[in-house]
Amino acid sequence: MKTLSMFSLLIISAFLANAKPVEIKDPPKERKNEVLTAPMKLSKAAYIYVARPIQTEIGPSGISCPFSIVKNETTGETVTASYSGSAILNVSAGDVVTALFDFSGQSSKKFTGAVTISVSEFNSGYKTIWVR
């Protein structure tokens, strides 16, 4: 048994002595620690007021448009304005927001308006949409 183990060690050492290094043609590239970044769009609730411009004796003014349909075209979120014509909608800078006011439920008298939310309007959290 002792002879067999000695003989095995001799064969292994001879095999390793004759071994040639293997070259890898395309060595794997080292990966650096990279952080994946994705553009992040901030969104917040904004107070949207829907109004219709009118001309008065004093000058131009506006009246509220109750129960208008307000939609953020960018995200698809839709809300209905209150009796005072105001709605709260999630918006981001650059979003397109539209409003539709159906005057007295008559399909022939629909007023529409659209705005793009600017950075200052996004920061203030307030925007008026004038429907015509």
pLDDT (tens, 9 = 90+) of the chain, 132 residues, equals: 667 677 777 777 766 677 677 776 776 676 666 666 666 678 899 999 999 998 888 888 889 999 999 999 999 999 999 999 999 999 999 999 999 999 876 667 889 999 999 999 999 999 999 999
The answer to whether residue 7 is domain-embedded is: no
Domain extent at residue 104: 44-130
The answer to whether residue 14 is domain-embedded is: no
The answer to whether residue 86 is domain-embedded is: yes
Q: What pLDDT is stored for residue 25 in this prediction?
A: 73
Q: What pLDDT is stored for residue 2 in this prediction?
A: 66
The answer to whether residue 113 is domain-embedded is: yes
The answer to whether residue 39 is domain-embedded is: no
Indicate the number of domains in the chain.
Answer: 1
Q: What pLDDT is stored for residue 36 in this prediction?
A: 64
Q: What pLDDT is stored for residue 114 in this prediction?
A: 96
The answer to whether residue 38 is domain-embedded is: no
The answer to whether residue 18 is domain-embedded is: no
Q: What pLDDT is stored for residue 59 in this prediction?
A: 81
The answer to whether residue 114 is domain-embedded is: yes
Q: What pLDDT is stored for residue 116 in this prediction?
A: 95
41-45 contact pairs (CB < 8 A, 24+): 41/92, 42/92, 42/93, 42/122, 43/75, 43/90, 43/91, 43/92, 44/90, 44/91, 44/92, 44/122, 44/125, 45/88, 45/89, 45/90, 45/91, 45/125
The CATH number given to whatever domain includes residue 124 is 2.60.40
